[in-house]
């Protein structure tokens, strides 16, 4: 059994294209849309090929017309690109995003998986860095051997008691100080974190053609090329941490 696990695609069709083509199942941990130039194509790909998909805060925002509750500059970028995303999504796309579950429990062979976008206690907006003590509490909530999460765009694996917490990182908008697209693979009982090059300059060209202001384009291009933007940091909003 080979399962490819990806999160935070953010409308990046080129990054999506470098996922392994040979797998038994594809699982997506949310945030199919926003920030990137091809949200409609990404939703179509996921709808046709993924076996399990959970709803992220940007999917929720696009589906229900609500704020994704990002912080600072990321909220400004989300609002600006959210308008472009809305123009590309059909009502079928939005209905699909609204219908995605917040959490999924899956058993494969003798392994119990729990899938959510952020944290089990707050699946849309909860924020917990890799070394946070919060994971000790979060691992106690679902009946899982492996807890799969996204949201922070930071790739990590951490064993807490009998539970393995895995964040595959962001496929479409990495937060790894590089332009590498990140994902994970579970194969024959073993979990591995992967990162790979993709055609980032094609995505950059599409971003530069998006109907958003030049400063928004510059920040998005910098994120795509470098995995970071100077002066744009994680932060607290509405009682939770939320990055993207």
Tell me: the pLDDT tens digits for 182-236? 999 999 999 999 999 999 999 999 999 999 999 999 999 999 999 987 655 433 3
Residue from 87, 92, 64, 89 nearest 210 by CA? 87
Q: Give just the sign of the alpha carbon dihedral 222, 220, 14, 209.
A: negative
The answer to which of 24-38, 78-92, 206-220, 221-235 has the lowest mean pLDDT is 221-235
Q: Decide which of 3.10.129.10, 3.40.50.970, 3.40.640.10, 3.60.21.10 is the CATH code for 2-241.
A: 3.60.21.10
What's the pTM?
A: 0.94
Q: What is the pLDDT of residue 122?
A: 98
Average pLDDT taken over every residue of the chain: 92
Residue from 154, 134, 159 nearest 240 by CA? 134
Q: What is the pLDDT of residue 229?
A: 79
Quick one: average pLDDT of 125-148?
Answer: 94
Does residue 167 contact residue 182 with C-beta atoms inside 8 Å?
no
Whether pLDDT at 241 is above 90: no
Whether pLDDT at 139 is above 90: yes
Whether pLDDT at 238 is above 80: no
Cβ count near 53 (within 10 Å):
24
Give domain limits for the chain: 2-241
């Amino acid at each position: 059994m080979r399962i490819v696990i990806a999160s935070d695609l953010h409308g990046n069709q080129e990054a999506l294209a470098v996922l392994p083509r040979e797998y038994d199942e594809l699982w997506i941990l949310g945030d199919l849309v926003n920030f990137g130039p091809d949200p409609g194509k990404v939703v179509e790909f996921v709808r046709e090929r993924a076996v399990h998909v959970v709803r992220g805060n940007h999917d929720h925002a696009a589906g229900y017309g609500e704020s994704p509750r990002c912080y600072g500059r990321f909220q400004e970028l989300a609002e600006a690109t959210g308008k472009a995303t809305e123009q590309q999504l059909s009502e079928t796309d939005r209905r699909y995003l609204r219908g995605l579950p917040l959490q999924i429990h899956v058993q494969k062979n003798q392994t119990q998986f729990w899938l959510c976008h952020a944290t089990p206690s707050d699946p849309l907006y909860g924020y917990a860095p890799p070394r946070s003590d919060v994971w000790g509490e979060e691992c106690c909530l679902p009946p899982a051997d492996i807890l799969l999460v996204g949201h922070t765009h930071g790739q990590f694996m951490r064993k807490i008691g009998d539970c393995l917490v895995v964040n595959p990182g962001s496929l479409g908008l990495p937060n790894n100080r590089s332009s590498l697209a990140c994902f994970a693979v579970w194969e024959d009982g073993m979990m591995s974190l992967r990162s790979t090059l993709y055609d980032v300059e094609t995505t950059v060209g599409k971003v530069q053609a998006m109907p958003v202001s030049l400063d928004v384009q510059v920040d998005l291009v910098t994120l795509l090329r470098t995995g970071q933007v100077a002066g744009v940091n994680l932060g607290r909003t509405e009682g939770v941490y939320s990055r993207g």
